[in-house]
């Protein structure tokens, strides 16, 4: 079933979460073990992130450097199928512009369609370490909206491969990202919302937000979206803080603010274990308030660790 169908069928706020593919070379077993306990809270869907190739320069020993590409977390398509099979649950792969040509994207989407995947979260992707700004593949997409248009085309039976012109159309439900604290490259919230509105007009059916720690940011974002005529479900993305380091790493990486009250509590913590307790409790309170507000779904960023998400879900769902 599509994400929007799950949301429409639900009588209350649903629980879902996002996982990262295991690091290259690691087994999927640990991932399954991480997911297993969270099934108790009956998530209707699980997202699986996509990770772009990084460039590595390897010394060939003769003074020359060899450029190699590597994907540190490969396997999104296969992992979606494996989780779907194992837990009989819908999976939502993230698909990204970065590192992919339009043909490669078309092939990946055809595979996802064969595998019975009904929804995709369409994103641009971030710059890789060797870039200071996002560089699209020479035959790929520069913005998520262009990638989204490719999915919409396929849903209408329009393929790039000329031999596929009479092929059955796909039927993906399309989700996109939203930023309650503005995307870091957007000159203003207004311009960011203008793009989001265009995405919805062109076929995006739901939005998942970047993580935030102050619910007022989400409430204001929803209000601004509705005023712009963006009327699709807006799913809040949540992440509990689990270490002291994240106090500076999260704002730096995701361009967000931590509320003063949360920082005050974290500053009192002697170690990571104490910070994790503060983070979990904060996230529980955030979740309860979001449910009261009527959020359609709470979507947790697990970052590879299910135990804090389990504790939150236990306290909330």
**What span, in angstroms and rounded, lies between the C-alpha atoms of 185 and 239?**
22
Q: Which one is catalytic: 18, 106, 205, 265?
A: 18
Of positions 192, 205, 214, 265, contacts ligand FAD by CB under 6 A: 192
Cβ atoms of 291 and 19 closer than 8 Å: no
Of positions 208, 238, 278, 309, contacts ligand FAD by CB under 6 A: 208
CA angle 148-88-200, nearest 5°?
20
Show the binding pattern over residues 167-186: x = contacts ligand FAD (CB under 6 A), - = does not: ----------x-----x-xx
**Considering beta carbons, is residue 123 or 174 the nearer one to ligand FAD?**
123
Q: How far is the CB of 10 from ligand FAD (least distance, A)?
A: 19
Of positions 7, 13, 17, 52, contacts ligand FAD by CB under 6 A: 52
Size, binding site for ligand FAD by CB under 6 A: 22
Q: How far is the CB of 266 from ligand FAD (least distance, A)?
A: 23
Does residue 18 carry a catalytic annotation? yes
**Considering beta carbons, is residue 147 or 316 the nearer one to ligand FAD?**
147
Q: Would you say the C-alpha torsion 56, 77, 35, 18 has a positive or negative sign?
A: positive
**What span, in angstroms and rounded, lies between the C-alpha atoms of 20 and 43?**
16
**What span, in angstroms and rounded, lies between the C-alpha atoms of 244 and 267?**
8
**What span, in angstroms and rounded, lies between the C-alpha atoms of 213 and 239?**
8
Q: 212 vs 69, 87, 235, 287, 298, CA distance in Å?
A: 33, 29, 12, 11, 12
Q: Would you say the C-alpha torsion 36, 38, 42, 45 has a positive or negative sign?
A: negative
Q: How far is the CB of 65 from ligand FAD (least distance, A)?
A: 26
Show the binding pattern over residues 89-128: x = contacts ligand FAD (CB under 6 A), - = does not: -----x-x--------------------------xxxx--
**Considering beta carbons, is residue 7 or 96 the nearer one to ligand FAD?**
96
Q: How far is the CB of 196 from ligand FAD (least distance, A)?
A: 8
Q: 99 vs 85, 120, 134, 138, 296, CA distance in Å?
A: 28, 17, 10, 9, 32
210 binds ligand FAD (CB under 6 A): yes
Alpha helices in 210-271 (DSSP H): 215-228, 246-254, 260-267
Of positions 4, 13, 34, 49, contacts ligand FAD by CB under 6 A: 49
DSSP element (H, E) containing 16:
strand 14-19
Q: What is the DSSP string of 23-76?
A: PTT--SHHHHHHHGGGGGG--SEEEE-----EEEEEE-SSSPEEEEEE-SS--H
Cβ atoms of 272 and 242 closer than 8 Å: yes
217 binds ligand FAD (CB under 6 A): no
Of positions 92, 145, 232, 280, contacts ligand FAD by CB under 6 A: 145
Instruction: Give the interface segment with ligand FAD, choosing from 8-16, 106-114, 139-147, 284-292 (CB under 6 A).
Output: 139-147
50 binds ligand FAD (CB under 6 A): yes
Q: How far is the CB of 208 from ligand FAD (least distance, A)?
A: 4
Tokens of 44: 């209707």
Contact residues for ligand FAD (CB under 6 A)?
A: 49-50, 52, 94, 96, 123-126, 143-145, 177, 183, 185-186, 191-192, 195, 208, 210, 237
Q: Which residues are known to be catalytic?
A: 18
């Amino acid at each position: 079933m599509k994400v929007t169908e799950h949301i429409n069928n639900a009588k209350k706020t649903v629980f879902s979460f996002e996982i990262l593919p295991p690091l290259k070379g690691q087994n999927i077993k640990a991932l399954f073990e991480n997911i297993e306990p969270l099934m108790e809270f009956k998530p209707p869907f699980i997202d699986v992130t996509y990770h772009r190739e990084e460039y590595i320069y390897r010394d060939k020993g003769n003074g020359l450097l060899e450029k190699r590409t590597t994907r540190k977390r490969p396997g999104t398509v296969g992992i979606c199928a494996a989780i779907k099979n194992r837990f009989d649950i819908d999976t939502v792969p993230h698909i990204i512009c970065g590192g992919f040509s339009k043909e490669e994207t078309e092939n990946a989407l055809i595979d996802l369609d064969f595998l019975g995947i009904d929804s995709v979260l369409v994103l641009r992707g971030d710059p890789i370490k060797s870039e200071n700004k996002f560089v699209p593949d020479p035959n790929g997409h520069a913005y998520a909206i262009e990638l989204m248009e490719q999915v919409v085309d396929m849903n209408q039976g329009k393929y790039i491969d000329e031999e596929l012109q009479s092929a059955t159309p796909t039927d993906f439900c399309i989700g996109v990202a939203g930023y309650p604290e503005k995307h870091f490259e957007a000159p203003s919230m207004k311009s960011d919302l203008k793009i989001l509105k265009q995405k919805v007009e062109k076929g995006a059916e739901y939005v998942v937000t970047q993580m935030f720690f102050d619910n007022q940011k989400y409430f204001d974002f929803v209000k601004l979206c509705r005023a712009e005529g963006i009327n699709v479900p807006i799913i809040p993305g949540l992440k509990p803080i689990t270490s002291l380091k994240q106090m500076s790493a999260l704002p730096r990486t995701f361009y967000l603010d931590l509320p003063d009250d949360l920082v005050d509590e974290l500053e009192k913590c002697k170690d990571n274990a104490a910070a994790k307790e503060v983070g979990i409790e904060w996230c529980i309170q955030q979740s309860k308030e979001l449910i009261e507000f009527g959020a359609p779904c709470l979507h947790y960023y697990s970052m590879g660790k299910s135990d804090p998400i389990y504790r939150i879900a236990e306290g909330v769902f």
